[in-house]
């Protein structure tokens, strides 16, 4: 009988020493929630620094003017203001189809967007040309967004 108790005790001590009962609170990767990047993608905001954009009504005319100048200098060669595709897609109703965060992230973080964002990848398949990084700042991208809103008829 002593031998049986000794074996049971040895078995219990050995199991505990080897980590047989996991009681830790660390979540496994399968049960962890989505990463911030995955959440932004799921929300249609793309990937990048721009997490939230506050749009104002009426349009900010100074931003529209600056955005048009940036469009003329960096965008017009590949994007038209109607729905016609040249090298890149036309901009007509882009602010209806895309969230403002997505637009700004596409302009400022084009490489990552083309690598990881499903909608950006669809545009790449359609246009067959990667959009070049134009080194547009967040502020300039916001101005371009305001110009796009104006182009789509927002007041």
List the CATH number of the domain containing 113: 1.10.760.10
Burial of 127 (0-12, 13-18, 19+ CB in 10 A): middle
pLDDT in tens, 26-61: 455 566 899 999 999 999 999 999 999 999 999 999
Structural domain includes residue 86: yes
Structural domain includes residue 10: no
**Global pTM?**
0.78
Structural domain includes residue 152: yes
In the chain, the number of structural domains is: 1
Structural domain includes residue 75: yes
pLDDT given at position 32: 83
pLDDT given at position 2: 52
Q: Could you tell me the residue range of the domain that residue 144 belongs to?
A: 61-155
Give the separation between CA 85 and CA 93, rounded to whole angstroms. 13
Give the separation between CA 108 and CA 103, rounded to whole angstroms. 9
Find out whether 41 and 113 touch, Cβ atoms under 8 Å.
no
pLDDT in tens, 58-90: 999 999 999 999 999 999 999 999 999 999 999
Q: Which two tokens stand for residue 21?
A: 């009962």
pLDDT given at position 19: 45
Q: How far apart are the first and last CA of the chain?
A: 90
Per DSSP, the three-state class of 98 is coil
Structural domain includes residue 65: yes
pLDDT in tens, 131-155: 999 999 999 999 999 999 999 999 9
């Amino acid at each position: 009988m002593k031998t049986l108790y000794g074996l049971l005790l040895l078995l219990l001590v050995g199991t505990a020493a080897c980590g047989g009962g996991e009681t830790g609170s660390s979540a496994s990767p399968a049960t962890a929630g989505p990463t911030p990047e995955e959440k932004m993608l799921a929300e249609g905001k793309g990937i990048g620094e721009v997490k939230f954009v506050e749009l104002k009504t009426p349009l900010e005319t100074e931003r529209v003017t600056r955005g048009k100048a940036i469009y003329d200098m960096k965008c017009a060669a590949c994007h038209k203001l109607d729905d016609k595709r040249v090298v890149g897609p036309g901009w007509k109703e882009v602010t209806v189809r895309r969230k403002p965060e997505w637009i700004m992230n596409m302009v400022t973080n084009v490489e990552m967007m083309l690598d990881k964002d499903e909608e950006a990848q669809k545009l790449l398949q359609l246009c067959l040309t990667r959009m070049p990084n134009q080194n547009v700042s967040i502020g300039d991208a916001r101005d371009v967004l305001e110009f796009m809103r104006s182009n789509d008829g927002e007041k």
